[in-house]
Structure 1
């Protein structure tokens, strides 16, 4: 592991106290401070423990990591030739709350520098009778018994005998049962080959989990816990993960530090900074307890003439009792007036908490930690302005490109499981790239190029998450609908003008009534025809007489509506089948 760093013999001469120059001729080693005593050099498991500790103790640290993980979650980019399948992929991922899963994966990767995740299809559990081979869904077998040895005792409904049933887990087609499981890094055992980079992963099952899932006659874990988990518990062995369903993503670790396949948490590189921050917070806590509220003291007043001082002839205990009663009365009624026969001295001791509090040092320590994580201060404080922080934001996005790769890897693997369950064609699923720092300038340039017809329009549409083919299809349909509506309005205007002219007594070759009668007759002839033949006849009429075409089309729509109403009425009047 990291034994070389902890071993004083392997370091440079004089690095640790006790070696190198004579005692009287050397300075105190600045690299061996108080924080060094707590730094876990030799155990990656202890480092992961500290990573948990930092998450729980430093709220700003957890908030910063969560904001980083959410920053790169944009919208889904599904590359699939089948538009119907693409729509089904989108609906499936929305139902499975993919954004929440990605945010969780990003937080785990940033906190531990290791992400262990498995994506499984899910299963339906059945009980198989050893006598008659009757298979029963466990959800329809409420009377089964479960033992502490993971044995299922059930009275078979077919042979009416009670036997120990075998369990059969069949892959489920229900997307709600697809599981994305994040595994605690401290519970994962890795077997790592350094020369090839190959790894095997095992789960060291916790004892409290074993007791929980083996509890007698429980009705939850006996249905939901996979069979392979029960087998590993009963055989007292590690659970080996299937490499096809298991993903391990880790942050880069310097090659000189041996970690046996895991990565050192990023927070361990800032151990001294976190330690110093906690020291400052502890001092600040002591100041808040001791120096925020001043210590108030009431004493006997001093007189200029010592011989005439009445205090000299009074009892100190009586004086103290009178002062305490006065204070008690004041607490009961802060607005009351109080009298005292002798002068008093009132002093406030302390109260310099605001001056003593190391606020600037605490803020500097927090800023150092955020800067080490490549987080712009404005992003953490939610005061980010893209125009002013373009280069810094671009550097931030490039620094965490590993997060985007991780998200895309999880989504693509997740999509293969969904496609297998739903029987959908293969699709490449990822996230739309995050380019907030370049978006304003890039969108402006692409918009100008599209206006000049220098590049394809799809480039601009893709930037806003629109599918080019779908938008072209919608635009064509929109133009067609607009044209038809315009023609209908023109026909109505012509009919209205003809009616007005007929009312004024002007002689017309054809009256509106004649047009409507002719349209009704033509509609009766066209209605029995198929859609293709009807469409051809309508086009012929449209070329010769647009007014007649609109009237015929309206008459056909009325006939279609009447036919639907008659069909519905006949269906309601038919007697129900026996």
Structure 2
């Protein structure tokens, strides 16, 4: 950690005793000497120093990107993506794991399999129920917790004694839980020859008390091995590979016993210096922002007898001035009279001149630079000319962070695959991209269009997934095909209705039957005259309906006139072909959107009327009905 007490003397590093040791400063006297004190120091700085906290957030947020799932089929990849995004909230977990690693220099977490605890009769083995159900029926089943044993009365055989606990795995959303372990509660067993480590959980005392007390909420969730460790008053040794340890590696000469060393410790002196400046800035704000205001009688000529300090009582003057000030607070617009003149003085108030603003800004810039954050990135003042080298230098100085996050992702993936019995895919975080990649993106897209790069690689630079886009394209094509089929069906139905309505008398089938029976031509003509008059022969030029419906803005129109025009337009549209009719309807909608709904309504009404007339005519001719 920091220099020990033996290294604080003047001869440390061979300095002559006649010169002071430049390394023996005030900050060195307060540097943490143990890993436990270092952890608390780093935690305190991260919680109290807003600059550090926000810097850590920006660093982690930059590297936590989307997860790329490969090596399995599309359906399996979608299952993994959905489970990690929705059930585990993978981005949030990777972010907090990264923050722990930067703050403490260490991050410990595990994936806990979900289970549900049941109680079973130890005698007949016929009764079995969830622990909570038995506990909630404590009056009927005489449930109690004593001597780290579950005791209850079996409703099947009547046995009143110890119940066996049975833990069964669950496979719902709670089947996997990500558990972060506090570094204050972790003890590392470290082998100095192989650097192998095992991890021990120092069970917190409040958790031990809850287990001993038999708190149902904790007994439902605590693995039985942890309960046994509490019973035996011991710590809990995790099995090998159960805990993932993400850490900041230290120099080989530091005997850190398997612990990582936070960057905050190497930046201890600068952090101390900045905090000293802030402390003095706070003192300046408390003492020098608001000036000390003073009122005194203006001195007069003592020889002429006009000096109020010699001719009047000082106590009376002070009381009179204080009364005036109190009255001014109640009524700022009031007038006040004094028998002598006053002079006003403001002492202090030079906080702006005394505040070490430039020193604090310089200290913060050095503080951020010492942990590898460009000040331009922190301020958001990067330009296109300086952004590429600054960001690349930033990524290089933090290369260990995305490496550790990818390791954490692989650990999570393996644990979930083992717990849920899924096929294990390949997973990694997508490398972050920024504006200076535009040239590379354009080159990749051109290679993709030339067939030299796969669409998956080409679209990935745009943060798009080729499989998703291909599915969306097929869905859009399917939707267009369905829409065209539905439109075609409607047009065919409208054409059939138009053909039936345009036949003389609406009796197309009856006329065909009469011609087949040798009916005279004039009889057919009379039948045509007895029915509805056709609007005109097919292909005849008709009047432009849309232009006839135009309404002059200077001449108002009543609703009755609008309805009559719509009825007339509908009659004209019935005589057109479906293509002409649709074209005229579009023109009407564009030129006069207010009358368009009435035209459509009257058109449908006339179609229904023609259809009904056609059916009645057919029934009358074929069956003679009236």
**In which range does the TM-score fall when normalised by the shorter chain?**
0.7 to 0.9
* 1:423-477 Cα shifts (integer Å, max 9, x gaps): 4322122221213255322212112222344433332122234443554455456
Selected match of 1:101 from 81, 93, 104: 93
Specify whether residues 129 and 413 from structure 1 end up closer, same or farther in structure 2 by C-alpha distance, changes over 3 A only.
same
> Secondary structure of the residue that 1:433 maps to in structure 2?
coil
| Mapped contact 1:146–1:218 kept (Cα < 8 A) | no
In the other structure, the counterpart of 1:343 is: 341
In the other structure, the counterpart of 1:295 is: 292
Q: CA deviation at 1:145?
A: 4.4
Q: CA deviation at 1:162?
A: 2.5
Specify whether residues 477 and 46 from structure 1 end up closer, same or farther in structure 2 by C-alpha distance, changes over 3 A only.
closer
The whole-number CA distance in structure 2 between the counterparts of 1:491 and 1:319 is 103
* 1:85 has 2:83 as partner: no
* 1:47 has 2:38 as partner: yes
Specify whether residues 491 and 52 from structure 1 end up closer, same or farther in structure 2 by C-alpha distance, changes over 3 A only.
closer
Q: CA deviation at 1:293?
A: 0.4
> Secondary structure of the residue that 1:248 maps to in structure 2?
strand
The whole-number CA distance in structure 2 between the counterparts of 1:103 and 1:468 is 27
> Secondary structure of the residue that 1:220 maps to in structure 2?
helix
* 1:15-62 Cα shifts (integer Å, max 9, x gaps): 38xx8645xxx2222211111111123x11111111112122212211
The whole-number CA distance in structure 2 between the counterparts of 1:71 and 1:385 is 18
Alignment of 1:373-384 (within 5 A): 373-384=371-382
* 1:136 has 2:136 as partner: no
The whole-number CA distance in structure 2 between the counterparts of 1:477 and 1:99 is 29
Alignment of 1:315-464 (within 5 A): 315-384=313-382, 388-436=386-434, 438-464=436-462
The whole-number CA distance in structure 2 between the counterparts of 1:483 and 1:249 is 53
Selected match of 2:57 from 63, 66, 87: 66
In the other structure, the counterpart of 1:221 is: 218
Alignment of 1:403-552 (within 5 A): 403-436=401-434, 438-469=436-467, 471-472=469-470, 474-475=472-473, 478-479=476-477, 482=480
* 1:116 has 2:96 as partner: no
The whole-number CA distance in structure 1 between the counterparts of 2:482 and 2:219 is 63
Q: CA deviation at 1:119?
A: 0.9
Q: CA deviation at 1:81?
A: 2.7
> Secondary structure of the residue that 1:103 maps to in structure 2?
helix
The whole-number CA distance in structure 1 between the counterparts of 2:311 and 2:483 is 111
Q: CA deviation at 1:120?
A: 1.4
Higher relative contact order (CA 8 A, sep 6+): 1
Alignment of 1:299-318 (within 5 A): 299-311=296-308, 312-318=310-316
Q: CA deviation at 1:73?
A: 1.6
The whole-number CA distance in structure 2 between the counterparts of 1:265 and 1:6 is 18
Any gaps of 5 or more consecutive residues in structure 2? Answer: 504-508, 513-626
> Secondary structure of the residue that 1:236 maps to in structure 2?
coil
In terms of mean alpha carbon deviation, does 363-372 or 453-462 score higher?
Answer: 453-462
* 1:317-352 Cα shifts (integer Å, max 9, x gaps): 111111111111112222222111111121111111
In the other structure, the counterpart of 2:228 is: 231
| Mapped contact 1:154–1:165 kept (Cα < 8 A) | yes
The whole-number CA distance in structure 2 between the counterparts of 1:260 and 1:474 is 54
In terms of mean alpha carbon deviation, does 104-113 or 236-245 score higher?
Answer: 236-245
Specify whether residues 337 and 129 from structure 1 end up closer, same or farther in structure 2 by C-alpha distance, changes over 3 A only.
same
In the other structure, the counterpart of 1:563 is: none
> Secondary structure of the residue that 1:125 maps to in structure 2?
strand
The whole-number CA distance in structure 2 between the counterparts of 1:238 and 1:283 is 45
In the other structure, the counterpart of 1:275 is: 272
Specify whether residues 319 and 250 from structure 1 end up closer, same or farther in structure 2 by C-alpha distance, changes over 3 A only.
same
Alignment of 1:258-269 (within 5 A): 258-269=255-266
Specify whether residues 149 and 304 from structure 1 end up closer, same or farther in structure 2 by C-alpha distance, changes over 3 A only.
farther
In terms of mean alpha carbon deviation, does 400-409 or 219-228 score higher?
Answer: 400-409
In terms of mean alpha carbon deviation, does 111-120 or 386-395 score higher?
Answer: 386-395
In the other structure, the counterpart of 2:177 is: 179
> Secondary structure of the residue that 2:245 maps to in structure 1?
strand
Report which of the two structures shows the higher radius of gyration computed on alpha carbons.
2
Q: CA deviation at 1:90?
A: 1.8
In the other structure, the counterpart of 2:575 is: none
Q: CA deviation at 1:388?
A: 4.4
The whole-number CA distance in structure 2 between the counterparts of 1:497 and 1:129 is 78
| Mapped contact 1:113–1:266 kept (Cα < 8 A) | yes
In terms of mean alpha carbon deviation, does 46-55 or 427-436 score higher?
Answer: 427-436
Q: CA deviation at 1:219?
A: 2.4
Q: CA deviation at 1:415?
A: 2.7
Selected match of 2:186 from 185, 188, 209: 188
* 1:15 has 2:22 as partner: no
The whole-number CA distance in structure 1 between the counterparts of 2:241 and 2:67 is 23
In the other structure, the counterpart of 1:548 is: none
In angstroms, what is the RMSD of aligned CA positions? 3.1
> Secondary structure of the residue that 2:123 maps to in structure 1?
coil
* 1:199 has 2:190 as partner: no
Specify whether residues 168 and 316 from structure 1 end up closer, same or farther in structure 2 by C-alpha distance, changes over 3 A only.
same
| Mapped contact 1:115–1:249 kept (Cα < 8 A) | yes
| Mapped contact 1:145–1:217 kept (Cα < 8 A) | no
Q: CA deviation at 1:268?
A: 0.7
In the other structure, the counterpart of 2:19 is: 27
> Secondary structure of the residue that 1:224 maps to in structure 2?
coil
* 1:374-404 Cα shifts (integer Å, max 9, x gaps): 1122433345556641211122123222222
> Secondary structure of the residue that 1:435 maps to in structure 2?
coil
Specify whether residues 7 and 313 from structure 1 end up closer, same or farther in structure 2 by C-alpha distance, changes over 3 A only.
closer
Specify whether residues 145 and 386 from structure 1 end up closer, same or farther in structure 2 by C-alpha distance, changes over 3 A only.
farther
Specify whether residues 155 and 440 from structure 1 end up closer, same or farther in structure 2 by C-alpha distance, changes over 3 A only.
farther
TM-score (norm 2): 0.73
In the other structure, the counterpart of 1:544 is: none
The whole-number CA distance in structure 2 between the counterparts of 1:353 and 1:148 is 66
In the other structure, the counterpart of 2:579 is: none
Any gaps of 5 or more consecutive residues in structure 1? Answer: 506-510, 515-578
Alignment of 1:150-165 (within 5 A): 150-165=148-163
